[in-house]
Amino acid sequence: MAEVEIWQLYRSMLRSRLFENAVKELWEKGKISGEMHLGTGEEAIMAGVVSQLEQGDAIAVDHRGTPPFIIRGIDPILLLLEFLGHPKGLCAGQGGHMHLFSKEHLIASSGIVGSSGPAATGFALALRYKKQGNIAVAFFGEGAINQGMMLESMNLASIWNLPVLFVCKDNDWAVTTITNEVTGGNLIDRAKGFGIEGYEVDGTDVEAVWKVTNEAISKIRNKGGPQFIHAHCVHTEGHLLGDPLLRYNRNPNMLAEVANSLKEYAGKSLDEVLLLLRKIGGQVKKRVDPIVIIQKKLKNDPDRLKQIDEEVTKEIEQIINKALEIFEGGMKND
Ligand SMILES: Cc1ncc(C[n+]2csc(CCOP(=O)(O)OP(=O)(O)O)c2C)c(N)n1
Ligand SMILES: [Mg+2]
């Protein structure tokens, strides 16, 4: 990969992370209400894929829509106003963080697990009629890979030779369900069963994601038909903000108390229950934070790293301040 690209990818990933960190703060202060699923930990997958899309390509996402919307270039002020439920938000304050749409950027998110499959396949069907060589991407968690509509979409995309890139972001968990306890076989083999070629990749390594995506996308653009990527990742903030398991895990006394109260019910020893709770809380990590990984790769040029960090920090601060100014101005006028 050209040197310039990894720096651009880092900037994209950092913008997304710092924006979501600010969202977390606002949620904790009670300014953003309701559930909030962050995409922190998915930035390498999102930057590695979205950076290779062209104008007119379409994206369908799940309940973790913030990183792809930010990386695709949607105005973060509109996004934050949307999360705040403001009428000037991206979807007039009606969609919240899970149901986002931008007609201009052809990107849509949905909280219905598995729905990015049919949405992207539909986008791809429309794009094929337009004959401009565009493709559609479906991003979904591995919890969606057992949903009928996802499998039907993969089948249709294959049989109709539609230009869809299916990207499965696998963090091993669907809320508190351990994925390998409910998923038969291997996902690459499953895709192959539909006649779709697949790639398995470490989704915390943006360069690795970029490379397999580059190959997959060029095959779609040149030959048509779908491709599949199975990318492994971790969620740094658990399933959703306020996740009780994450709270327990960050407070060892609380964790021990909960484990103790559960051990008899679970029929397991205290250590076994503790390990399980730590696993569900994302505290037993097989993988590390993608931002930390890329920062290590770029550490040979600390000045450039520092400059980007400062620029992005300032940019995000300005975005948050501007959005809050509009939000609070709007509240005063109510
Ligand atoms: C059709 C449907 N069933 C159940 C839910 C409730 N739900 C929300 S997120 C989620 C887990 C999804 O797991 P995965 O696809 O792996 O995504 P992750 O949260 O791990 O990123 C579930 C079951 C839903 N939103 N939609
Ligand atoms: Mg998952």
Q: How far apart are the first and last CA of the chain?
A: 51
Q: Following DSSP, what letter does each residue of 56-87 receive, concatenated? A: T-EEEE-S--HHHHHHHT--HHHHHHHHTT-T
> What is the token pair recorded at 329?
């101005």
Number of other CB atoms surrounding residue 306 within 10 Å: 10
Least confident of 10-14, 31-35, 153-157, 265-269: 265-269
Q: How far is residue 302's CA from residue 195's CA, in Å, rounded to a whole number?
A: 46
pLDDT of residue 78: 98
- The domain locations on the chain are 3-241+302-333, 244-280
Around ion ligand 2, residues with a beta carbon closer than 5 Å are 141-143, 171, 174
pLDDT of residue 331: 62
Range with top average pLDDT, 159-173, 244-258, 269-283: 159-173
What is the rounded average pLDDT of the residues 76-95? 97
Confidence tier at 321 by pLDDT (50, 70, 90)? very high
Q: How far is residue 53's CA from residue 174's CA, in Å, rounded to a whole number?
A: 28
> Does 178 score more than 70 pLDDT?
yes
Q: How far is residue 279's CA from residue 275's CA, in Å, rounded to a whole number?
A: 6
**How much distance in Å is there from the Cα of 176 to the middle of ligand 1?**
10
What is the rounded average pLDDT of the residues 180-192? 96
Q: Which residues, other chains included, contact 69 with Cβ-Cβ below 8 Å and sequence gap of 6+?
A: 61, 79, 90, 100, 102, 107, 109
| Cα–Cα nearest to 65, from 121, 115, 125, 27 | 115
Instruction: Name 60's bridge partners.
Output: 108, 138
| Cα–Cα nearest to 71, from 42, 34, 95 | 42
Confidence tier at 3 by pLDDT (50, 70, 90)? low
Confidence tier at 255 by pLDDT (50, 70, 90)? confident
pLDDT of residue 152: 98
Q: Which residues, other chains included, contact 257 with Cβ-Cβ below 8 Å and sequence gap of 6+?
A: none
What is the rounded average pLDDT of the residues 307-315? 98
CATH number for domain 3-241+302-333, candidates 1.10.630.10, 3.40.50.970, 3.40.50.150, 3.30.70.100: 3.40.50.970
Confidence tier at 283 by pLDDT (50, 70, 90)? low
Instruction: Name 167's bridge partners.
Output: 139, 229
Name the residue type at position 112.
Answer: I
CA of 63, closest atom in ligand 1: 9
Confidence tier at 276 by pLDDT (50, 70, 90)? confident
Q: How far is residue 200's CA from residue 211's CA, in Å, rounded to a whole number?
A: 12
Q: To which residue do tokens 């390498």 refer?
A: 44
Least confident of 67-71, 167-171, 177-181: 177-181
Q: How far is residue 302's CA from residue 298's CA, in Å, rounded to a whole number?
A: 7
H or E, element range at 201: strand 197-202
Q: Which of 113, 150, 176, 241 to mutate to test the pocket of ligand 1 (most atoms within 8 A of CB)?
A: 113
Question: Which residue, judged by its Cα, is nearest atom 13 of ligand 1?
Answer: 174
Residues with CB under 6 A from ligand 1: 63-64, 111-114, 140-144, 171, 173-175, 239
What is the rounded average pLDDT of the residues 25-39? 96
Q: How many helices (H) and strands (E) does the chain have?
A: 13, 9
Number of other CB atoms surrounding residue 260 within 10 Å: 12
pLDDT of residue 251: 84
pLDDT of residue 204: 96
> Does 289 score more than 60 pLDDT?
yes
Name the residue type at position 71.
Answer: I
pLDDT of residue 280: 72
**How much distance in Å is there from the Cα of 279 to the middle of ligand 1?**
18
Q: What is the bridge-based pairing of β-strands 227-232 and 197-202?
A: parallel
What is the rounded average pLDDT of the residues 197-201? 98
What is the rounded average pLDDT of the residues 323-330? 91
User: What average pLDDT is seen over the chain?
Assistant: 93
- For residues 86 and 330, is the Cβ–Cβ distance under 8 A? yes
In angstroms, what CA-CA distances link 245 with 27, 65, 278, 280, 317? 18, 23, 8, 7, 30
pLDDT of residue 2: 57
Q: What is the DSSP letter of 95?
A: S
What is the rounded average pLDDT of the residues 164-179? 93
